[in-house]
């Protein structure tokens, strides 16, 4: 899909985002009730009296959720409000047990800030308006029984942050890029697991279109619950075209809430927005103002991890790693930390070239061997028995030519399963490559003696037979020869 299907010299789109992110806490925002770790927890099996909205219950604010919201605020360069408030937002819905949702309307925990992202090779800044804390509602199940709605409150009270951007985006592709950058950062910082299918992160987009040059904002439509980056891009593109088509034919855009039908590839009307619901906000009288002392914010700032972009740049420059490898390492903090801990084992005075070779070996073993061992049961590197130091040992042996790539990978896999000392295995099974020139010289001579016809053919110019000779030598050897040394000896003999 092209970034813009419309004439930007005539029309300008203004796009703003509201992003709901489920915080990675163990308990709910206002109760000690556990959260479903998997989606198959039996409905309504994890609830405390507060989660059910039972009479006499009071909210207890989850300090961990507050910290995660603050980490998000710090990462996105927000101003943190030393005093924020919780408000009740009233509406009647079967999965809203108290008859209201506790959110932050009037004074959110964080304000301002920005999302930094790259689009068409250029750095961009998307200003934020606010980040606020709120509790999720439960789930209404309309399709289980005919004529009945079932309610599962296991999700009710799940801590969310809502990130609201300024309407400062103008094209669907840039919007997608901004959302991807935000997603990566929040997942990286372990604020949110970022699972779009399960709704851990959900996007709403506000869109309006005006004639280019006009300062009068266009009529706004809201696109609800876009649960993939692609849907955001497609829905916005469709919507911009729809608005322009209306405007060009002299019609008016109506203020509506719309959803994206990804099969029909079009947005569909949910409701008119003329009569906005009256949420009758009330400062929650059960919750005192949230006071954040400077020490708490400072502590989080000091422990604030390096952002993935910065780390990626640092890995690329320190180890001279190819960009795709650095990016793969920076896909998760555990991965990057494992790599960094391994490379920390390298001797400090290593020349730059040697460091590069070892780091590259490390990265390749990590990405190609170790990550391949992970599965749903062992989703994390910490599930493997191998330590970063052991990975460094294997990578160093490989970089020094002592182990072949194949042997190094097999050894890595074995250590990952058993946790045994890699050097011990290397010695016990004599896995080191043979690098003795005399021994290899004899091997080369023996191969050439055994294949006089091929030798003749080679001398007559069939130089691709070098591979054949090397293969023969490898097969015949009792210990694995260093292929580089072997090759150079062949070349020497054949020249």
The binding site for other proteins (CB under 8 A) comprises: 49, 52-61, 88, 90, 92-94, 97-100, 278, 280-283, 285-288
CB nearer to other proteins: pick between 146 and 461: 146
> How far apart (Å, rounded) are the C-alpha atoms in residues 104 and 283?
9
Question: Residue holding tokens 């972009």?
Answer: 309
Closest distance of CB 90 from other proteins, Å: 6
Query: What DSSP string runs through 405-440?
Result: HHHHHHHHHHHHHH---HHHHHHHHT-SPB--HHHH
Distance, in Å, from the CA atom of 115 to the CA atom of 112, rounded to the nearest integer, reads: 10
In angstroms, rounded to a whole number, what is the distance separating the alpha carbons of residues 292 and 133? 14
Residue 380 backbone phi and psi in degrees, to 5: -125, 145
Q: Nearest approach, Cβ of 95 to other proteins (angstroms)?
A: 10
Q: Identify any residues that bridge with 272 across adjacent strands, giving them in sequence order.
A: 256
Residues in the chain: 495
Q: Where are the beta strands (DSSP E) in 281-337?
A: 282-283, 290-291
- Alpha-carbon distance of 267 to 255, in angstroms, equals 14
**In this complex, which beta carbon is closest to other proteins, that of residue 55 or of residue 213?**
55
Report in angstroms how near the CB of residue 29 gets to other proteins at its nearest. Answer: 12
CB of 297 to other proteins, least distance (A): 21
- Name the minimum Å distance from CB 159 to other proteins: 16
Rounded to an integer, what distance in angstroms lies between the CA atom of residue 274 and that of residue 283?
Answer: 26
- The smaller minimum CB distance to other proteins, of residues 46 and 443, is found at 46
Residue 41, by phi and psi: left (phi above 0), alpha (psi -120 to 50) or beta?
beta
In whole angstroms, the minimum distance from the beta carbon of 26 to other proteins comes to: 17
Q: Are 111 and 301 in contact (CB under 8 A)?
A: no
Which is nearer to other proteins, 280 or 429 (by Cβ)? 280
Cβ distance to other proteins smaller for residue 43 or 441? 43
Coil, strand or helix: which one is 485?
helix
Nearer to other proteins, 82 or 288 (CB): 288
Min dist. Cβ of residue 59 to other proteins (A)? 6
Considering the complex, what minimum distance in angstroms separates the CB of residue 97 from other proteins?
7
Of 156 and 209, nearer to other proteins (C-beta) is 156
> Which residue number, 213 or 285, has a Cβ lying nearer to other proteins?
285
Nearer of residues 138 and 194 to other proteins, judged by Cβ: 138
Strands (E), 4-147: 11-22, 79-80, 83-84, 87-90, 100-103, 110-111, 114-119, 122-135, 139-145
What are the C-alpha distances in Å from 35 to residues 30, 62, 99, 125, 417? 12, 13, 21, 35, 32
Backbone dihedral angles phi then psi of residue 67, each to the nearest 5 degrees: -60, -40
């Amino acid at each position: 899909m092209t970034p813009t299907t419309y004439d930007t010299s005539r029309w300008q789109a203004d796009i703003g985002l509201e992003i709901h992110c489920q915080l990675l806490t163990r308990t709910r925002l206002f109760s000690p009730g556990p959260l479903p770790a998997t989606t198959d927890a039996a409905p309504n099996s994890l609830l405390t009296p507060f989660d059910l909205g039972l009479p006499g219950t009071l909210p207890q604010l989850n300090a961990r959720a507050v910290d995660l919201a603050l980490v998000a605020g710090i990462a996105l360069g927000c101003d943190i409000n030393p005093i924020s408030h919780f408000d009740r937002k009233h509406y009647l819905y079967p999965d809203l047990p108290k008859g209201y949702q506790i959110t932050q309307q009037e004074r959110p925990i964080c304000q301002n800030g920005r999302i930094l992202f790259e689009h068409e090779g250029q750095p961009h800044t998307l200003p934020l308006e606010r980040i606020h804390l709120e509790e999720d509602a439960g789930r209404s199940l309309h399709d289980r029984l005919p004529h009945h709605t079932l309610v599962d409150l296991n999700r009710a009270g799940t801590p969310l942050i809502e990130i609201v951007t300024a309407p400062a985006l103008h094209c669907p592709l840039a919007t997608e890029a901004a959302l991807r950058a935000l997603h990566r950062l929040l997942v990286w910082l372990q604020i949110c697991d970022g699972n779009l299918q399960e709704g851990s992160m959900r996007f709403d987009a506000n869109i309006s279109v005006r004639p280019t040059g006009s300062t009068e904002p266009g009529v706004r439509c809201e696109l609800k619950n876009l649960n993939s980056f692609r849907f955001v891009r497609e829905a916005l593109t469709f919507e911009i075209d729809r608005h322009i088509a209306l405007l060009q034919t002299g019609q008016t855009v109506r203020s509506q809430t719309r959803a994206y039908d990804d099969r029909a590839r079009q947005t569909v009307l949910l409701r008119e927005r003329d009569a906005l619901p009256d949420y009758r906000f009330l400062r929650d009288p059960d919750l005192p103002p949230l006071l954040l002392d400077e020490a708490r914010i400072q502590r989080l700032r000091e422990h604030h991890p390096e952002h993935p972009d910065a780390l990626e740049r640092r890995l690329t420059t320190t180890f001279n790693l190819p960009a795709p490898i650095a990016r793969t390492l920076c896909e998760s903090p555990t991965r990057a930390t494992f790599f960094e801990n391994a490379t920390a084992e390298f001797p400090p005075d290593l020349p730059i070239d040697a460091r590069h070779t070892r780091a590259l070996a490390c990265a390749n073993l990590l990405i190609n061997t170790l990550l391949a061992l992970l599965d749903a049961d062992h989703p994390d590197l910490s599930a493997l028995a191998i330590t970063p130091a052991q990975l460094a040992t294997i990578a160093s042996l490989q970089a020094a030519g002592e182990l072949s790539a194949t042997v190094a990978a097999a050894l890595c896999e074995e250590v990952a399963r058993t946790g045994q000392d890699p050097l011990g295995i290397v010695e016990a099974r004599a896995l080191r490559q043979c690098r003795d020139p005399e021994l290899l010289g004899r091997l080369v001579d023996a191969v050439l003696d055994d294949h006089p016809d091929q030798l003749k053919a080679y001398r007559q110019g069939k130089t691709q037979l070098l591979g054949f000779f090397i293969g023969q030598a490898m097969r015949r050897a009792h210990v694995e020869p260093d292929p580089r040394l072997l090759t150079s000896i062949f070349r020497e003999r054949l020249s």
